[in-house]
């Protein structure tokens, strides 16, 4: 969801790929929207088009008439269904020109990795006549940028073709595209951006509490709220005629955000929940161990995704079986027999067992029923218990019910455990 004041230049996005119409989540739109907001620009339209020449050609031709800048992502690979170059050439009635120097770069990349270059990769060395190649440091497909002048009420018009993989697209977009967009369409506009990350609150609840900002955004203000991986991200951007005014706008926005949802804020900018947890553990000179059943390593994976996590993370046990819960973690067999492996009592003993076995300050446990089978009337699919043991003699257990697929239940359970741990550490 994006709420914003009226944009200036019209910027449109076309994402190419039949998979986008078959269920794959499109992450490019949110990334590009937020990047544009930093310049004081906003997307006026986004379209997802299949790998089909005729509809893609029509989409590019129509968008290029409407927009000041058109960004097309995907379809620059070497295979038969990568047809963005051809569609753009036909839509703009502009031929593709073979660039020997690009072909040489592509060949060198394959040689560097000691891999034979398929003949199909030669297609990637063709550019629209008049376009500039955008260097790809992480793949074989160069991007393209074409700027024409005097055809849009005297304003320049831009077309950008970018590869689909995010690891290739993002560096190219930041290095080459954003600065050019700034020069052409946002000169004299000063922008500031703020990304605030929340945990322990649903997207709808956060949206309700943040209406003080989003209901009637002031001129130059843009807001986006997104949910994923058990957290809510609230992005704000403010543009003004001077850097001082833009900074004042962001200061006001930050103050209102903290007033509305301050108790749920774990960080800003590039901070992740696992990084926030790690920073607290390091600051308090505490160590952590985990015992996971239904999440099967999701929690530990997020903890260890943070560089330097070996400073505070001792290790984890994936105790799927009851025997392992008893043998490695010291869960009493009578506890499992009386209450079951999915119970508050078992979660409490798993957390303490992980802490004790690893010699850690804090132990975290997760046990539950991820589904789709295995649930009962008393213990339905999605039931999860999260336990915390330590530091000292502290022990806590929380019961939760997560809805969704097996993957969703596991991800939300791991995120909830991170949030509970962050909350305990931040209040200590």
The DSSP string of 69-95 is: EEEEES--SSSTT--HHHHHHHHHT--
pLDDT category, 5, cuts 50, 70, 90?
A: very low
Decide if pLDDT at 3 tops 60. no
Q: Tell me, what's the pLDDT at 7?
A: 47
pLDDT category, 152, cuts 50, 70, 90?
A: low
How large is the average pLDDT for residues 282-308?
97
Q: What would you measure as the largest C-alpha separation in the chain, in angstroms?
A: 81
Exposure string over 34-67, b if 16+ CB within 10 A, otherwise e: bbbbbbbbbbbebbbbebeeeebbebbeebbeeb
Domains of the chain: 2-185 (3.40.980.10), 190-268 (3.30.70.2860), 273-427 (3.90.950.20)
**Higher pLDDT among residues 193 and 8, named by residue:** 193
How do beta strands 265-268 and 383-389 pair? unpaired
How large is the average pLDDT for residues 79-83?
91
Instruction: Give pLDDT tens digits for 156-170.
Output: 899 999 999 999 999
- Residue corresponding to tokens 């956060």: 206
Decide if pLDDT at 140 tops 50. yes
Q: Cα separation of 312 and 134, whole Å?
A: 42
Decide if pLDDT at 4 tops 60. no
**Higher pLDDT among residues 108 and 330, named by residue:** 330
**Higher pLDDT among residues 200 and 293, named by residue:** 293
Q: Cα separation of 287 and 272, whole Å?
A: 19
Q: Cα separation of 302 and 298, whole Å?
A: 6
Comparing 17-31, 66-80, 276-290, which segment has the lowest mean pLDDT?
17-31
Q: Three-state SS for 12?
A: strand
Instruction: Give pLDDT tens digits for 37-48.
Output: 888 888 999 999
Q: Tell me, what's the pLDDT at 182?
A: 92
Decide if pLDDT at 21 tops 70. yes
Inter-axis angle of helices 344-358 and 322-329, nearest 10: 40
Q: Tell me, what's the pLDDT at 145?
A: 98
Share the mean pLDDT of the chain: 92
**Higher pLDDT among residues 247 and 117, named by residue:** 247
Decide if pLDDT at 418 tops 70. yes
pLDDT category, 6, cuts 50, 70, 90?
A: very low
Q: What's this model's pTM, rounded to 2 decimal places?
A: 0.78
Q: Tell me, what's the pLDDT at 196?
A: 97
Percent pLDDT > 70 in the chain is: 97
pLDDT category, 8, cuts 50, 70, 90?
A: low
Reduced to 3 DSSP states, what percent helix, strand and coil does the chain have, rounded to the nearest 5? Answer: 45, 25, 30
Radius of gyration of the chain (CA): 26
pLDDT category, 428, cuts 50, 70, 90?
A: low
Decide if pLDDT at 194 tops 50. yes
What are residue 324's phi and psi, to 5 degrees?
-70, -35
């Amino acid at each position: 969801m994006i709420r914003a004041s009226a944009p200036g230049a019209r910027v449109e996005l076309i994402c190419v790929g039949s998979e986008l119409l078959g269920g794959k989540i499109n992450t490019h739109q949110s990334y590009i929207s937020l990047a544009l907001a930093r310049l004081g620009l906003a997307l006026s339209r986004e379209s997802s088009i299949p790998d089909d020449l005729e509809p893609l050609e029509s989409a590019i031709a129509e968008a290029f008439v409407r927009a000041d800048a058109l960004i097309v992502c995907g379809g620059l690979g070497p295979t038969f269904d990568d047809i963005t170059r051809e569609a753009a050439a036909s839509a703009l009635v502009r031929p593709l020109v073979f660039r020997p120097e690009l072909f040489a770069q592509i060949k060198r990349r394959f040689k560097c990795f000691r891999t034979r270059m398929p003949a199909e990769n030669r297609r990637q060395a063709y550019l629209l006549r008049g376009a500039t190649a955008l260097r790809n440091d992480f793949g074989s497909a160069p991007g393209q940028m074409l700027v024409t002048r005097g055809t849009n009420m005297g304003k320049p018009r831009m077309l950008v073709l970018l590869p689909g993989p995010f690891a290739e697209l993002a560096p190219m977009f930041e290095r080459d595209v954003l600065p050019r967009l700034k020069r052409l369409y946002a000169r004299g506009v000063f922008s500031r951006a703020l990304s605030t990350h929340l945990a322990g609150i649903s997207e709808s609840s956060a949206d309700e509490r943040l209406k003080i900002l989003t209901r009637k955004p002031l001129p130059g203000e843009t807001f986006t709220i997104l949910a994923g991986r058990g957290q809510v991200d609230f992005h704000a951007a403010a543009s003004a005629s001077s850097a001082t005014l833009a900074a004042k706008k962001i200061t006001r926005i930050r103050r209102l955000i903290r007033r509305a949802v301050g108790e749920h804020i774990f960080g800003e900018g590039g901070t992740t929940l696992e990084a926030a947890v790690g920073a607290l553990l390091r600051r308090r000179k505490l160590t952590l161990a985990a015992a996971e059943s239904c999440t099967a390593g999701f929690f530990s994976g997020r903890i260890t995704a943070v560089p330097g996590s070996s400073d505070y993370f001792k290790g984890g046990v994936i105790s799927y079986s009851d025997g392992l819960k008893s043998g490695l973690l010291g869960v009493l067999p009578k506890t499992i027999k009386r209450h079951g492996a999915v119970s508050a009592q078992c979660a409490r003993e798993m957390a303490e067992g992980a802490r004790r076995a690893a010699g850690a300050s804090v132990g975290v446990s997760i046990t539950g029923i991820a589904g789709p089978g295995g649930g009962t009337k008393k213990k339905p699919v999605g039931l999860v218990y999260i336990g915390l043991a330590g530091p000292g003699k502290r022990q806590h257990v929380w019961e939760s019910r997560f809805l969704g697929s097996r993957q969703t239940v596991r991800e939300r359970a791991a995120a909830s455990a991170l949030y509970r741990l962050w909350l305990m550490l931040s209040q200590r």
